[in-house]
Amino acid sequence: MSTTTLVRGQGTKILLLNPNSSSSMTDGMKTVINDVNLPHSTEVYTYTAPPDSPASINDGTDIKASTEAVLEDFNTANEYDGIVVACFSVHPLVSELQSRGSTAVTGIFEASVLAAISLLRPNQKWGIVTTGKFWESHLSDGVHAFLGAKTDGENAKFAGVESTGLNASDFHHGVDPAVVRQKLKRATKRLLGAGDVTVVVMGCAGMAGLEEIIREAAGEEFGDEFAYGELHVIDGVRAGIMQVDHMIRNQRLRPGRKL
C-alpha cells in the first residue's frame, strides 16, 4: 500500500474578538473581513462578548468591564493561530491574551498605528478620527506609549486625535445616518487642517465600512485628486486582520515550529 507524506501546507485560524456585547457591531465588521485578501486556507471567526460586557466601550470603566467579562467567558484562545482584539483602545485584553500562550495577538489600535507609520513619506503626518472626547487623550497617550516615546513629547509625524462626539454604537443604530456623516466629516476636516496629513485612521471598530465618508470630507477640503489619489484611510479591523496574518507567518519561521 502506497503512503503519502505532507510536504507543505497549514491551515490558519484567526479570531476577530469584539469585546463589547453588540452583535450588530460584529456584523458590521464582517463586511470588512470579506474584503481582506487572505489565502483560501485562512479561516476567520468572530466572537462577541457576553451580555454583561458593555454594548459600547466609551471610557475607561467600559474597557475594564469588557476585559473582565471576556476573560470570564472566553477560554479557547489556543484554538486559534491569531486573535485580533477589535476595540480601538489600549485594551488590556491584548496583553492578557498574549501572556496566555503562543497565539499571535494584536489589537486594531496597535495594528493601525503600524500601518499608518508604514505609509508615510518624508514630511507627511498621520492622525486618528474617533468617537467621544475621552478617546482624545487616551489614544494620544497610547500612541506615545506604543512607540516608546514620552507622553508629553512631540511627535513630528503624529497629527493627533479628533473626536466626533458619537459613541461606537451610534454608527450602526440609534443615530440618524445624516448626523453620523456630518459629525465624522467635521472631525476629519479638523484633523486634515493640521497640515500634511496623508493617513487617516478610523479610530473605532464601529466605523468599519465608513471609509467613503472620510474621503468625501477630504475631497471637499482638498479636492478629489488628494482624497482618492493620495490619502490613505485605515480601517482598524482590516489592519488588524492583515497584521495578525503577518505575525502568524513570522512565528512559523521560527526553528522548532509545528508543521
pLDDT digits (tens, 9 = 90+) for 166-198: 887 777 666 888 898 999 999 999 999 999 999
Pairwise CA distance, residues 89 & 244, whole Å? 17
Largest CA distance in the chain: 72
Confidence of residue 149 (pLDDT cuts 50, 70, 90): confident
Do the beta carbons of residue 16 and residue 29 sit within 8 Å? yes
Give start-end residues of each CATH 3.40.50.1860 domain in the chain: 110-236
The class (CATH top level) of 110-236 is alpha beta
pLDDT digits (tens, 9 = 90+) for 89-112: 999 999 999 998 889 999 999 999
Give start-end residues of each CATH 3.40.50.12500 domain in the chain: 12-107+238-251
- The reported pLDDT for the residue numbered 5 is 47
Do the beta carbons of residue 32 and residue 64 sit within 8 Å? no
Pairwise CA distance, residues 212 & 190, whole Å? 17
- The reported pLDDT for the residue numbered 191 is 97
Q: CB-based contacts of 195: which residues, under 8 Å, 6+ apart?
A: 125, 159
Query: Comparing C-alpha atoms, which of 202, 203, 245 is closest to residue 16?
Result: 245
Residues facing residue 250 across a β-bridge: none
Query: Comparing C-alpha atoms, which of 110, 113, 116 is closest to residue 97?
Result: 110
Q: CB-based contacts of 108: which residues, under 8 Å, 6+ apart?
A: 84, 85, 86, 87, 88, 205, 236, 237, 239, 240
Do the beta carbons of residue 104 and residue 82 sit within 8 Å? yes
Pairwise CA distance, residues 227 & 219, whole Å? 5
Q: What are phi and psi of 196, to 5 degrees?
A: 65, 20
Global pTM value: 0.91
Task: Report DSSP state, residue 215.
Answer: H
The class (CATH top level) of 12-107+238-251 is alpha beta
In angstroms, the Cα distances linking 134 to 8, 87, 151, 164, 245 are 48, 14, 16, 11, 31
- The reported pLDDT for the residue numbered 172 is 66
Helix (H) and strand (E) counts for the chain?
9, 8
